[in-house]
Amino acid sequence: MADLASDHTTTGADTRVYSLKQVVNAALASGLPVAVWRLPLGAATHACISFDKAFQVEHPELENSPFGFLFSPFVVGEQPSVFIKADITYSSGTGLLQFSDAVTQTQKQEFIVALESAETTNYSWHLNSSEAIHQQTEAGFKNAVTEAVKTIEGGQMEKVVLSRTAAKPLPADFNLVDAYSLMLEAYPRAFATLVSVPGTGTWMGASPEILVTIDPEKIFRTVALAGTQPAINGEPVGNAIWRQKEIEEQGMVERYVLSCFKKLRLREYTEVGPRTIVAGNLMHLRTDFSVDLKEVDFPTLGTDMLHLLHPTSAVCGLPKEPALNFILAHEGYGRSYYSGYLGPVNSPDGTHLYVNLRCMQLQKDQAILYAGAGITAESNAAKEWQETQHKMQTMLKILTKF
């Protein structure tokens, strides 16, 4: 398979251009953390690499952060939030490397040497240093859904999002960057990511859900995304028919975003939706919210909304505290970075944090796929299991191409 860039780069007087495969392999060979991403409908893939091998942050603050990539778990504190500082940056649009001022001449030269042998050699990705991942069975998931419906009917919560895993063997000829390239082709409208950090592990995903973005024009954005049904090839989204269950689920997520604005006493925002959008092989209901920070004096809105929103009602439930407690008590495994958030911070394209959905974690010889479903009083355990099956097709489709 062809790489995303041809073969030349620049580092001071060096004018060669490198492929994405060379850059990722050089980072892995050097034992360095690397993050790769492409924005929805973006033309170029970007990467950053840090010489800090374990840069953890407790409470991310977006406004004062250097350029880098943030990778945070579902439950803050159970795993660390990792920040991959952009010591080295790369764009497939040019094939050029750039080194920050913090990089020493020795570090630069050692990385360039690693690049020279990185095109033809496949290096192992970084693995999670913790124990084996617990799996959620079909029976366990369906029992949790049944228990959740009872709890909701009892008035203890309105909605809870339950998830599960599936372990799939990696094909013998699986290649990390080739898999990422396939993901870019298959899901042009998704936020496509590849993150590999020593001790933390390696994750790939194609997420449809914005958590917080702030573009170079200082426009803040977030979305309310909920409701799921299969997308039919060639069928206009305007023909989608939504059940009451999905409409109510979307309304809950929308009200939660508005409640966060209310807590911050923010009244100057724009709301558009809900409307039907396509994400891979699925359709969802989505409402977009935006704030023009050039006109609204709220310099910390990004950080404040990040901490209020996460975990969103779309991946946790409502009210947040009883829903989260139910998940921790009944889900049967630890989500780790699934349904956390990730993305570039203060890049030339701005800050773009997405919920880590439609993703998989790569182990030595298998992939762990993750998917969840929103449970309300109208939920049926068999249908919710089927919804997770549909969502797992996003990553399963990539594995089956090898």
With 0-12 CB in 10 A as exposed, 13-18 as middle and 19+ as buried, what is 236? exposed
The DSSP code sequence of 205-270 is EEE--EEEEE-TT-EEEEEEEEEEEEPPTT--GGG----HHHHHHHHHHHHHHHHHHHHTT----E
Q: What span, in angstroms and rounded, lies between the C-alpha atoms of 327 and 334?
A: 10
Whole-prediction pTM: 0.93
Mean pLDDT along residues 229-233: 83
Write the pLDDT tens digit of every residue in 246-255.
898 899 899 9
Q: What span, in angstroms and rounded, lies between the C-alpha atoms of 126 and 111?
A: 17
Q: What span, in angstroms and rounded, lies between the C-alpha atoms of 298 and 103?
A: 34
Mean pLDDT along residues 52-65: 86
Q: Architecture of domain 1-402 in CATH?
A: 4-Layer Sandwich (3.60)
Write the pLDDT tens digit of every residue in 285-315.
999 999 999 999 999 999 999 999 999 988 9
Q: What span, in angstroms and rounded, lies between the C-alpha atoms of 145 and 289?
A: 31
Write the pLDDT tens digit of every residue in 11-49.
443 578 999 999 999 999 999 999 999 999 999 999 999
Q: In the chain, where are the structural domains located?
A: 1-402
Nearest to 223 by CA among 244, 237, 209: 209
Give me the amino acid identity at 160: V
pLDDT at 42: 96
Q: What span, in angstroms and rounded, lies between the C-alpha atoms of 148 and 154?
A: 10
